[in-house]
Amino acid sequence: MKTRYQSTLLVLAVCATLSACKKEEAAPAQAEAPSPASTALEGELSIVAWPGYIERGETDKNYDWVTAFEADTGCKVSVKTAGNSDEMVALMNQGGYDLVTASGDASLRLVAGGKVQAIDTARVPSYASIDQRLQNAAWHRVDGKHYGVPYQWGPNVLMYSTAAFKTPPSSWSIVFEEQMLSDGKSNKGRVQAFDGPIYIADAALYLMSKQPELGITDPYALNETQYAAAIALLKAQKALVHRYWHDATVQMSDFKNEGVVASGSWPYQVNALQLEKQPVASVIPSEGATGWADTTMMHAEAKHPNCAYAWMEWSISPKVQGDVAAWFGSLPAVPSACDNNALLGAEGCKTNGMDNFDKIRFWRTPESKCSDAAGCVPYSRWTQDYIAIMGG
């Protein structure tokens, strides 16, 4: 998904991220969900979202969960897509948006930074239908308050070229260590890595199996020794990397046209390429996978809160949940969405990995406070060091 940020966006994103990271050590914002002065719908709604999350049928007319919402509510939806969580934090710090579909490596930063508000779940009547594993998840519930509504979840899969691999790769080593592939060529220059500091957790996850003597138990809570090992692995990996991606469209093009044969990816790209009859498949390797559980969160200064609440309720209706999962290759936050959805199909949730929940280490913002007596390396360091690796 794009080699890296354009310089201006990178400066904005990094500055915003670092300021947010400084705030993350402070006590979480305690704002209560405000009582609305009026429940009248404002006629507009702006959302920061991952690509493919808010579709209005422009790519495929069968995938449209915006048009009916606009017709029902009169809330005209505008969408700003973001390629990674740091971009989302930067946009929310900038302001002017009502909602964001934040992953766990952004949500707590937004809470701690006071950029999102606690929500009143009574204004989201279908909240009880959400998967019990997600209703009170630590990445959106802080000090007994809900700071959003779960939306979708899924793994960061290993996408690979079936032309380059006679059998599916079984380990993340294929993107971290130089080796000959079954097509007789090296993987050097043919693999990709994610353009985001949270990717350090992918390296740590691999090291949990590769170097168990490091004692890593949580890829988001690394002491100095564990962190140094992950950074060393990523520095060595750079010689293999064709591109640091965060633009789904660019990554798909690279698999089709640039000779890329393996990368961490999202099910969205896998599904899209397979629909184009491209020779790709995906797997969760033996080490497991990182992943994302995304939450729709409301900006602390949302200008259209009533439309935002209407969307949060709409977004967890079984039809919308199933359609999003079918389009993105994700899993619905509402289990009933797995049943009787024409687009998802009878086996859709199983195919997308509903049974893999326990294999996924969900993205979470790294903090200095951890179970290690000496503390852990905070996200501000992850940001600085990963940018240095990509630019080195």
Are 43 and 67 members of one domain? yes
**pLDDT of 83:** 87
355 within domain boundaries: yes
Are 358 and 386 members of one domain? no
Sign, Cα dihedral of 46, 50, 56, 59? positive
336 within domain boundaries: yes
Are 29 and 109 members of one domain? yes
Contact between 239 and 188 (Cβ < 8 Å): yes
1 within domain boundaries: no
Are 275 and 302 members of one domain? no
Number of domains within the chain = 2
**pLDDT of 38:** 79
Are 213 and 310 members of one domain? no
DSSP letter string over 42-89? -SEEEEEE-TTSS-BSSS-TT-BSSHHHHHHH--EEEEEE-SSHHHHH
Q: How many residues does the chain have?
A: 392
Are 271 and 313 members of one domain? no
Contact between 245 and 175 (Cβ < 8 Å): no
Are 52 and 89 members of one domain? yes
Question: The domain containing residue 133 runs over which residues?
Answer: 7-154+291-362
**What distance in Å separates the CA atoms of residue 203 and residue 188, rounded to the nearest whole number?**
17
Distances (CA, A) of 167 to 183, 282, 362: 11, 11, 27
Are 210 and 235 members of one domain? yes
What spatial distance separates the first Cα and last Cα of the chain, rounded to whole Å? Answer: 19
Are 304 and 371 members of one domain? no
340 within domain boundaries: yes
**pLDDT of 6:** 34
**pLDDT of 16:** 39
**pLDDT of 37:** 63
281 within domain boundaries: yes
| Token pair listed for 330 | 């994700």
2 within domain boundaries: no
Q: What is the mean pLDDT of each run of 10 residues along the chain (392 residues)?
A: 32 37 40 64 98 95 98 98 94 98 95 97 98 95 97 97 96 98 96 96 98 97 98 98 95 98 95 95 96 97 98 98 96 97 95 91 93 94 97 88
203 within domain boundaries: yes
CATH number at residue 165: 3.40.190.10
344 within domain boundaries: yes
DSSP letter string over 281-350? EEE--TT-EEEEEEEEEEBTT-S-HHHHHHHHHHHTSHHHHHHHHHHHT-EESSGGGGSS-TTT-TTHHH
Which H, E and C letters describe 144-203, residue by residue? CEECCEEEEEEECEEEEECCCCCCCCCCCHHHHCCCECCCCCECCCCEEEECCHHHHHHH
Residue (of 64, 62, 115, 55) closest to 91 by Cα position: 115
Are 263 and 204 members of one domain? yes
**pLDDT of 19:** 37
**pLDDT of 8:** 32
* C-beta contacts of 369-376 below 8 A and 24+ residues apart: 369/25, 370/218, 370/221, 370/223, 371/221, 372/221, 372/223, 374/223, 374/224, 375/223, 376/221, 376/222, 376/223, 376/227
Residue (of 308, 334, 382) closest to 48 by Cα position: 308
Are 54 and 71 members of one domain? yes
Are 23 and 120 members of one domain? yes
